[in-house]
């Protein structure tokens, strides 16, 4: 009888320990990854690379999680052919820009000159603001548009989804 009770207690302890470990893994999997960590995982070295990161459609869900971030980065992928210097950018805007690069992949690399969102037409009240400030103002709206695009088109073929511009019909475009 004692042996039987000890076996049950040991079994319950092992089962409980297993559930605790599993919960910790699940909790950390739900955390927002950082763009830097994500790019390292896909083998992108920002300092020594002048090409667009090697990303594919399977990376879009992770990039959409990162796209919520308002953290300001001072190192991030950028188009080496742009004459516009950009010293900082929100992590989330860079993530959206990378998604746009995946979407436009067949057109060759970078989706635009810079990871900057700007209005399709100039607004007088924005004339005295710098590009990064203006871009930040459009971050949340662009994020919502990319979320909607992915929800509606993420399960169709890549070729079909790539034809649909998430920003079409909005007052926003990429620089």
CA dist 53 and 42 (Å) reads 8
Residues 76 and 154 in one domain: yes
Residues 147 and 66 in one domain: yes
Q: Which residue has the higher pLDDT, 125 or 145?
A: 145
pLDDT of residue 48: 63
Residues 20 and 102 in one domain: no
- Domain of residue 155, residue span: 33-174
Contacts 24+ apart (CB under 8 A), 39-42: 39/77
Residue 111: DSSP 8-state:
S
Non-local (6+) Cβ contacts of 60 within 8 A are 99, 102, 150, 154
Residues 63 and 106 in one domain: yes
Residues 25 and 106 in one domain: no
Residues 21 and 43 in one domain: no
CA dist 88 and 106 (Å) reads 28
Residues 55 and 83 in one domain: yes
Gyration radius (Cα) of the chain, Å = 22
pLDDT band at 21 (very low <50, low <70, confident <90, very high): very low
Residue 111, pLDDT > 80, answer yes
Residues 133 and 49 in one domain: yes
Residues 106 and 169 in one domain: yes
Q: How many residues does the chain have?
A: 175
What percentage of the chain exceeds 70 in pLDDT? 74
For the chain, give the mean pLDDT. 79
Residues 70 and 141 in one domain: yes
Residues 66 and 97 in one domain: yes
- Number of structural domains, the chain? 2
Q: Which residue has the higher pLDDT, 90 or 22?
A: 90
């Amino acid at each position: 009888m004692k042996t039987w009770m000890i076996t049950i207690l040991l079994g319950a302890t092992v089962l409980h320990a297993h559930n605790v470990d599993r919960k910790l893994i699940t909790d950390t999997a739900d955390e927002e990854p950082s763009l830097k960590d994500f790019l390292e995982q896909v083998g992108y070295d920002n300092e020594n690379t002048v090409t667009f990161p090697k990303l594919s459609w399977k990376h879009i869900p992770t990039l959409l999680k990162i796209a919520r971030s308002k953290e300001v980065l001072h190192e991030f992928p950028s188009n080496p052919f742009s004459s516009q210097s950009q010293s900082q950018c929100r992590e989330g805007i860079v993530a959206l820009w990378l998604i746009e690069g995946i979407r436009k992949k067949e057109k060759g690399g970078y989706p635009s000159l810079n990871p900057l969102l700007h209005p399709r037409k100039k607004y007088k009240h924005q004339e005295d603001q710098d590009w990064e400030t203006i871009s930040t103002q459009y971050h949340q709206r662009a994020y919502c548009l990319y979320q909607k695009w992915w929800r509606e088109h993420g399960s169709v073929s890549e070729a079909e989804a790539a034809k649909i511009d998430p920003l079409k019909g909005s007052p926003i475009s990429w620089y």
